[in-house]
Chain A
């Protein structure tokens, strides 16, 4: 693991006047409930022996808000900061499980939302995906937060399997939108917690544990922003979070007593989302927050990292902070955000197989077939302004080989706010990251049948084949299954070419 940290001596730490302002916003029914619970946990009354939830210190920089379409639900919410959205649309009723309604409601109240996220450095959005408000409004809140320079981190609950396919698909949409609009989104599948309860708890227990996880994540983020034993520059944190990751997971561990370091790490690896630590092994980036009682030292933090290093062999880039709270407890907690994959890596991997970046963008976004010179555009906006700015930044890629680079044209389903996207969000052109994929050497290198597919030049089939110019170039990759046999030509037609293409069907 590669580590990066900045040390400051304690004087400088104390002198640091600027605090990082963290706002937790619950969106939708589940999100609001979670926000409410978290506010309770973080208030001084609940602290007791939970140093990580830090009581009074938290209160200074941590604020909560609830956003919903359902007026009645907001009424019952114990939080002070509540915002009703979409009054004109839903008239105080909920979004009826329709993300589109949620989106429009959010758009209607965009000014209010913008005001809500103002004056925050880190905005944590809590939402349950699959319904209307959470799914539709959460991405918007993230976007607005980023627009004004904050870090947007979403902690999104994914529906249980039994909630049905429709909710799952909406949740999928929402997750992908969040992936584009936030700096990091942690998808929390409720099913994972349902199972880990092992039949004792059931749904309510699973939900309770998910909320607990969200609390731990927020605590972890807080710890990252105000480490007093080992400080992490907010700029570094921001940079790490803003790396356009494909997937972020979160894990939490706690240890007590003499062996608290190793205990904490063991407990961390047992975290339901981490798949016995495998997720961290595959992570490209790890952001670690170590918290302990007043006696916590840098050595303690080091020991925790060492323990992690013993158990994880990944290649992650790691940043961390360590915090000592005012309690006497002999408890040590470690919270880890692990993220892997990147837009760039995705495009490199999939381009080799003829996929375009459009495939990982939210639905409702269409793209032109490959072969055309294209600019890599961020999925979140695709209006002409973005394309132009991308082109102006010299990010056009003239590479037409190896599969498509799609031009993404937003069909408008994610809602247009109209603000041009900051340039730093556009992924880098893949010229420099894609290994040169020779046209004739593309072949799937994985095959569950374990066969070694040799990759002869596609052109070897001879002149009986169709003319190269007529087909989308992704086809070359797809045809490697047939390169070892002669083409099936019948009545002048190459039957190896997909029927839907020869019949002119559009996908």
Chain B
């Protein structure tokens, strides 16, 4: 694989991040530049106002171009939204040819079998991820092509979403104008940046808590076991504060970012946060305890919903390496401890694996998905021959 420039566009609810990276023959990725802008027109992870979003994306792209010195034309995009679902299916296929040899076509067929089930009419698959390949009952097979077998079974994890809703995000990017080479489900991209193969093997939960949504993906045995989206994020926390404290949104947002905390304790009782009026005179005092309680209830609920989803599939016990937090909300004071309490698993701050050329800004949790997109792009490029047509382009049976 020769050196390639890959650009990722992570258009979120709070911010747009664009990363320009260079992939090297040895698989390593170097980030050349990053652009960022305040997001517009994106709500709960989805583009609600295409034109506004395009403006914001353009601004971020321009900044990325400036910092990297690269002219951006084609990009990989991240997508999320409350409509995105996932399921795991087992597809089976009996080898019919005389030699009982598994061919590439056989693999394709079994993948198709596994993917087709459970996909609603208006949905398109975003990713089809091979989980487990069994050849005549023997599991753990990496590549069955060429093996002798009569029965081929594949567990496929399919991540899908409503076609039209997915298209909105891509449309906003195309309008910049840019060409979209591929799209990745946001937490998958983040996991690409944050999780090591070892952690994926041991079992890890990547939890990306952003402004509009909370996205997560569970790895086990080296592959994706489960994924999900909750359309609840930092905006909900702000909104809760707006209602509880009766203050305008921008004040609540500032308050949340400066003083936000989700741990309760005696230390808080009686403590007040004094908000200053425009003239710098103290304007109002709000109880820090109240702020903490309102925020904690929201975050606790969010974490409980994730936990419940994991328990439905009995996955919590299988997360050996722990939980990795990314996304802006993960910065909240006390969140790590709260997550540990609710999920009853060790919780860590997810950090993008240090790739050469990185500057400190990239270590912050908000950039995990954008950085991961570069790696996703690199992997997609490597898998290029397999793709046929646009939707096949974006759905990839690759090891991610």
Contacts and interface: CB of A to CB of B under 8 A. Distances in A.
Most buried by B among A165, A363, A451: A451
B284 A169 contact: no
Q: Is the interface of B mostly helix, strand, loop or mixed?
A: mixed
Contacts of B272: 165, 169
Most buried by A among B247, B249, B300: B249
Contacts of A452: 52
A168 B298 CA distance: 30
Given A475-B243, A484-B48, A496-B239, A169 B285 contact: yes
Given A486-B82, A488-B230, A498 B294 contact: yes
Interface in B299-346: 300-301, 305
Given A171-B282, A189-B280, A449 B246 contact: no
Nearest to A480: B249
A392 interface: no
A450 interface: yes
B236 A495 contact: yes
A444 B281 contact: no
Interface residues of B, number: 46
A342 to B, nearest CB: 15
Contact of B284 (A359, A481, A488): A359
Most buried by A among B39, B43, B230, B305: B43
B248 A444 contact: yes
Contacts of A450: 38, 40
Most buried by B among A275, A478, A496, A507: A478
Interface in B251-287: 253, 271-272, 274, 279-282, 284-285
A331 interface: no
Contact of B282 (A158, A356, A503): A158
A353 B235 contact: no
Contact of A474 (B48, B235, B240, B243): B243
Interface string A170-196: 011001000000000001010000000
Given A171-B282, A478-B242, A495-B232, A500 B49 contact: no
B54 to A, nearest CB: 13
Nearest to A472: B243
B46 interface: yes
Interface in B219-241: 230-232, 235-236, 238-240
A485 B81 CA distance: 10
Contact of B249 (A168, A171, A279, A447): A447
B90 interface: no
A496 B279 CA distance: 34
Contacts of B230: 488, 490, 495
A451 B48 CA distance: 12
Contacts of B248: 353, 444, 446
Given A498-B298, A503-B297, A172 B274 contact: yes
A499 B240 contact: yes
A507 B249 contact: no
A354 B243 contact: yes
Interface in A456-495: 474-475, 478-479, 481-482, 484-486, 488, 490, 495
B282 A175 contact: yes
A501 interface: yes
A332 B305 CA distance: 71
A424 interface: no
Contacts of A353: 246-248
B231 A500 contact: no
B293 interface: yes
A30 B244 CA distance: 37
A350 B247 CA distance: 8
Nearest to B212: A485
A35 B40 CA distance: 56
A275 B280 CA distance: 10
Contacts of B301: 495, 499
A498 B281 contact: no
Nearest to B46: A485
Contact of A485 (B48, B281, B284, B300): B48
24 contacts: A165-B272, A172-B282, A172-B285, A189-B281, A353-B246, A354-B243, A354-B246, A447-B249, A449-B38, A450-B38, A451-B41, A478-B242, A482-B44, A482-B235, A484-B48, A485-B46, A485-B231, A488-B82, A499-B240, A499-B297, A500-B240, A500-B293, A507-B244, A507-B294
